[in-house]
Amino acid sequence: MEPRVEHTTPTSFSSRRKPVHWRVWWKLLRPHTLTASIIPVVIGTALTLEVTTINWSLFAAMLLASILIQSATNMFNEYYDFKRGLDTKESVGIGGAIVREGIRPQVILNLAIILFAVSVLLGVYICMNSSWWVAVIGSISMAIGYFYTGGPYPIAYSPFGELAAGVFMGPVIILLAFYIQTGTVTLYSFLVSIPIAILVAAILLANNIRDLDGDRSAGRRTLAIIVGREKAIQLLGLMFVLAYIWALGLVLFSPASFWILLVLLSIPTAVKAVRGFIGKSKPIEMMPAMKSTAQLHMRYGLLLSIALFL
């Protein structure tokens, strides 16, 4: 049963309608998370250099479509978290544009739909220059983006949020970016995508560790809630370790060059992220650790991209 949300009435919004600063719209996109859609496209495209030359127009279309789908997903998250009463003025994080800034919920929902529509147009262009199978995968990805927080059984409220995010913002985007350039996929491109999947999932796990108490009271059943805060932090650290072990494995057992080991330079960020969670229980105290987890994905991904280009 959904909690009753008293502040959804039109009267409450009309009484506090005010001009919205552009920074509010920018924050609504949750820009610090957008590397999760940018990095996989860059990596998938960099992998093609051993096979073919890069079609830059396809790269740009894929990159923009990926960003738009994630931005729309963030807006759906904003909308449905509000409708379910999860966002309040006291909520920690950059979400809550509806309750803090008075933006009408329908406006945010409409914006999300518009972003999806533009990504569909970009998808048509990509399909016309590659394969219409891309449309099938793209449609599934958009559906996952919506049902992540939308629908009667949101993925984000279940133990499978990290898995869904990791799969679709790791192997799926990387292999799509590779496929539209080459017309094929390879085992090596799949193997390279795995640590990125792990680190995307880690971002979601870190978010759920921070929001554990609030999510539990709202009836969510996230992975962090099921295993408990202490074990969730241990799992986060294990995921980081696995991402680095995987990189070592790529160098030892695949065609990857030793340049892949550049990702080891991001280890201090991983250590900082885990330490930032240990002994903390208040969401505001865990914000630096949450930020470090997102930074780790970005830095590891950029270093991996540089290694592939080299």
CA dihedral 12, 15, 20, 25 (to 10 degrees): 10
Measured distance CA(202)–CA(224) in Å, rounded: 11
Q: What is the DSSP string of 203-214?
A: HHHHHHHHTHHH
Average pLDDT, the chain: 85
Mind listing the pLDDT tens digit for each residue in 129-146? 988 898 999 899 889 888
Measured distance CA(289)–CA(292) in Å, rounded: 5
Highest-scoring range by mean pLDDT, 24-28, 152-156, 163-167, 236-240:
236-240
Measured distance CA(90)–CA(33) in Å, rounded: 21
Mind listing the pLDDT tens digit for each residue in 225-265? 999 999 999 999 999 999 999 999 999 988 888 999 999 99
Percent of the chain surpassing pLDDT 90: 53
Comparing 15-29, 68-82, 149-163, 222-236, which segment has the lowest mean pLDDT? 15-29
| 102 — pLDDT class (breaks 50, 70, 90) | low
Say whether domain 8-309 belongs to CATH 1.10.600: yes
Mind listing the pLDDT tens digit for each residue in 2-57? 444 444 444 444 444 555 655 666 676 677 778 888 999 999 999 998 888 899 99
Average pLDDT rounded to a whole number, residues 281-303: 91
Percent of the chain surpassing pLDDT 70: 85
**Sheet strands (E) in 24-135:** none
Average pLDDT rounded to a whole number, residues 88-109: 65
pLDDT at 12: 43
Q: Can you give the residue ranges of every domain in the chain?
A: 8-309
pLDDT at 3: 42
Average pLDDT rounded to a whole number, residues 258-273: 95
- For 60, residues 6+ apart whose C-beta sits below 8 A from its C-beta are none
Average pLDDT rounded to a whole number, residues 109-136: 92
pLDDT at 67: 92
